[in-house]
Amino acid sequence: MSESSTAETSAQETALSKIRNIGITAHIDAGKTTTTERILYYTGVSHKIGEVHDGNTTTDYMAQERERGITITSAAVTCEWNGHRINIIDTPGHIDFNIEVNRSLRVLDGAIFVIEGVAGVQPQSETNWRLADRYNVPRVIFINKLDRTGANFDYAFSTLKEKLDIVAIPLQLPIGAEENFIGVVDLVEMRAIIWEGGELGAKFHYAEIPDDLKEKAAEARQNLLDTVLSQDDAALEQYFETGDVDVASLKKCIKKGAISGEFRPVLCGTAFKNKGVQPLLDAVIDYLPAPDEVEGIRVAPPEGEEVDESFLRVIPVDPEGKFAGLAFKIISDKYGTLTFVRVYRGVLKAGDTVLNTTKGHKERVGRMYQMHADKRQEVDHVGAGDIAAFVGLKDTGTGDTLADSADPVVLERMQFPVPVIDISVEPKTKDGVEKMTLALQKLAAEDPSLQLKTDQETGQTILSGMGELHLDIIVDRLRREYGVEANVGAPQVAYRETISKAHTETYTHKKQSGGSGQFAEVKITFEPVERNGGISFENQVVGGSVPKEYIPAVEKGIRVQSSTGVLAGFPTVDFKYTLLDGKYHDVDSSALAFEIAAKACFREGMKKAGPVILEPIMDVEVTTPNDHVGDVVGDLNRRRGIIQNQETAGSTVVIRAQVPLKEMFGYISHLRSATKGRASFTMQFHHYDPVPRNVADEIMAKSA
């Protein structure tokens, strides 16, 4: 290797160790966007702090986000801190936009989990935590809003163990509480950090630990040492010899445990009052990994095959290898389509051609940008560890792999949530039909949790999404961004059908009307599988009674027909079908004949396999004042809800229940009137369950 290329390599390696790709995630209203705004201010990216309530934040740049005060789409921003580059993705907290959290965590090396100082761990925090577990993302926890009335660090901390079942280790303790919160005790360096006023809070000073906290701090420090020193033998030896360890060794131990997930470091503060953000940035640098300090990404198993994950090849982050990256987000704006890509291996220059290994075609990369929310900065190349937006890709979707054709790897695929609610949309004018179709195709390409289909009977376009708010935003974007005024039908539940017992059906398709005819016979067993088991196919034909070239046609026929169930026309899920036997004719048989026979066999066989209608059951959490608990519980019971538990949190009670989605339309207005506007609720999909007989009859009567 030449000297110049060696120098270039070491520069890339140095750059890699100075990169942090992190996400900020939490339950709705826990303070993610506010925390991101403070980070951008203190790192010098923004010269003015934006506020969610003023509608002028950097990462909430869509009109719908600013009006509602919520994050809808994840936004990428880049900043510098202590010589390191931090790529941050601010993700939504509302369950309807969970797809954004899912795909962001897929490509990040670390995350800040923001926990609310009053409520502690909330439902969406739990959902996001499990997602981060799935993708093995190292995390630090920031207990926020400690200036709020009712904030309690100890209570919020206790919910980490109780609800997330983790080993949480405080690296800080709060000094003061509620409006008297002034700073933190740093347990790593055993000193107090005091902020001077609550304005922009950039000024702080170090001080002695207050006398009333010295004993508690010493105890917490000992707990910290007992937990983390097992990560490093040299640090443990130093501790046994001297009774303490130096700060660098302690930080090294904390980082090692944070990356492995043995424990989770916890910091605290109040982002809104600008206290605690600078130490949080230090913690990102000190405890979250650079791209080359985590395992990398697995190569996907062959389509349709189940393989033990431990046998899958892993692509480490490597600046020297052949290019490989994962497209994780698509945005269509006035300049064209932007494809966000996380680079895992190699270097790519603007103008290069890569292979979309997921779809098997080549793509030329036009321009490349480092994104700052909705602003962009052009770059001429990207390397391993980078997150950038590509322009010019013709047919690359969320979850597709882009790779060098010399090593055409397919990276581990993403899993997307199931849509549970449908609406019909049609343009108000005939001129708007084509416009609406193109707009919806672009929106569906951006958002894999949004699905489009056409109702065969009515010709209406049906949108399926994660909730009422999700679909409301889509319709609003149709109007504002694409100029399409649409008539929208009332929300409908996305029911499914399945079977409850096994049945074997034989069907013969015979059509002879002069000339060459059609002939195919299939014998298929249909049997139920566990919920969320999907649809699977097995071929048990022996002796060539169905020629091999016709087997795919049988499989296709069933899969196509399964989109329309036998009871009320809903998609059929969670069953296995096995082709046992059949017959063919040398002249009259064809792939089409076997596909038709399979479809008819499905229609006949499913009717005899105990078909049932399934409905989405939602996890509902209602937070209500004590004096309205009886009203709330009684109402949930009337809605066919099953109460899971009740917890008291200060003067409020948190009620958890599982309730059919059908019964939850318009619930918020009813809840507000029943509790004089004092209660709130969150809801997320949990599972599908068979509907009661009377509800099934009602559904079938409507579809008849």
Positions at the binding site for GTP:
26-33, 90-94, 144-147
Distance CA 547, CA 644 (A): 53
Rg of the chain, C-alpha, whole Å: 28
Angle between helix 211-228 and helix 247-260 axes, rounded to 10 deg:
60
Closest CA to 219 of 190, 246, 248, 239: 190
Q: Which two tokens stand for residue 697?
A: 């009859």
Distance CA 87, CA 372 (A): 9
Give the containing element (helix H, strand E) for 367. Answer: none
- 652: helix, coil or strand? strand
Amino acid identity at 101: V
Give the containing element (helix H, strand E) for 475. Answer: helix 468-482
Q: Could you tell me if 91 and 27 are in contact, meaning their C-beta atoms sit under 8 angstroms apart? A: no
Sheet of strand 535-539: strand arrangement: 503-511, 518-528, 575-583, 535-539
Q: Could you tell me if 78 and 69 are in contact, meaning their C-beta atoms sit under 8 angstroms apart? A: no
CA distances in angstroms from 161 to 154, 264, 385, 446, listed in the order given: 12, 11, 32, 36
Q: Which two tokens stand for residue 393?
A: 């890709």
Q: 690 - beta bridge partners?
A: 614
Q: Strand pairing of 575-583 and 518-528?
A: antiparallel
Query: What burial class does residue 618 get, using C-beta atoms within 10 Å of its C-beta: 0-12 exposed, 13-18 middle, 19+ buried?
Result: buried
Other Cβ atoms closer than 10 A to 85:
17
Q: Which positions make up the binding site?
A: 26-33, 90-94, 144-147
Q: Could you tell me if 587 and 518 are in contact, meaning their C-beta atoms sit under 8 angstroms apart? A: no
Q: Could you tell me if 207 and 191 are in contact, meaning their C-beta atoms sit under 8 angstroms apart? A: yes
Closest CA to 19 of 517, 351, 388: 388
Closest CA to 112 of 96, 101, 123, 99: 101
Other Cβ atoms closer than 10 A to 549:
11
Contact residues for 586 (Cβ-Cβ < 8 A; gap 6+):
none
Phi, psi of 235, rounded to the nearest 5 degrees: -65, -40
Q: Any idea what DSSP says for residue 599?
A: H
Q: Which two tokens stand for residue 470?
A: 């999700």
